[in-house]
Structure 1
Amino acid sequence: MPEQKDDRAAEPGPKTRRIAVLGEMLELGDEAAKAHWDLGVSTAEYGVDFLIGVGDELAKQTTLGAAHAGVEAALVRDNETATALLEKILRPGDIVLVKGSRGGMRWQIAQALTGKEITGILS
């Protein structure tokens, strides 16, 4: 007996977006501004669709580098604002990377989005 084809399977689903939420790398010293700019530029090479820079001047460099490379980008000051922005823009299927120095406690963003306790410390 031949298998029946499900027409819904042939329909393209919503595009999966790659969203990076990047905080400041606080341990870089004199090269910090350039390293943050370069990180922003490299997000385009890794297929990031939207970048949220979280923090102050160094996060601004990441955000500007990403925008320069063609990535849609936003700069926010804190974890709460980043979480609120993500809650507005997230769509089913989106993939989110949250990364930053431990001092920035970016794990709070992941915890707020998932509703699961995340300590920020790997053992």
Structure 2
Amino acid sequence: MAVLGEMVELGDEAAKAHWDVGQMAGQYGANIVGAVGAEMAKQLALGAADAGVDVAIVRDNETATDFLKRPLLPGDVVIIKGSRGGMRWQIAQALTKQEITGILS
């Protein structure tokens, strides 16, 4: 499973780059993609759907966390990616119930 957040530093290439990342999630074996955000999250979802992946678009980290709690089973792998500004680490923290002690720059 991949939880993909919007990447805010891409400028004019943003739509295509988001679509490409969604595609790559499918090509690398994600079964489900949760796209977090607004307009660019739609591009992530469209790229993943085109690769045959089940997708969900959610608005924020809290909703993404709730979405993930339902389908996760022991042994599942979740990849969480997004810009630092989206604070996607909050999703990992909520799922693992572990404190985030620092973020590398």
Calculate the TM-score normalised by the size of structure 2: 0.96
Counting matched residue pairs gives: 105
Code of the aligned partner of 2:93:
Q
Alpha-carbon distance in 2 for matches of 1:36, 1:120:
27
Deviations 1:71-108 (A, max 9, x none): 11110000000000101111111000111000000000
Q: Tell me which structure has the larger Cα radius of gyration.
A: 1
Look up the match of 2:91.
Answer: 109
Calculate the TM-score normalised by the size of structure 1: 0.82
Q: Does 1:50 align with 2:32?
A: yes
Cα pair 1:52 1:74 within 8 Å, conserved: yes
CA RMSD of aligned residues (A): 1.1
Look up the match of 2:76.
Answer: 94
Q: Which runs of 5+ in 1 are unaligned?
A: 1-18
Q: What is the aligned-residue identity percentage?
A: 69
Secondary structure at the aligned position of 2:14 is classed as helix
Moved beyond 3 Å, runs of 4+: none
Deviations 1:20-71 (A, max 9, x none): 0010010000000010011111111101111000000001100111011101
Q: Does 1:37 align with 2:37?
A: no
Q: Which runs of 5+ in 2 are unaligned?
A: none
Q: Displacement of 1:121 after TM fit?
A: 1.0
Q: Displacement of 1:119 after TM fit?
A: 4.8
Code of the aligned partner of 1:110:
A
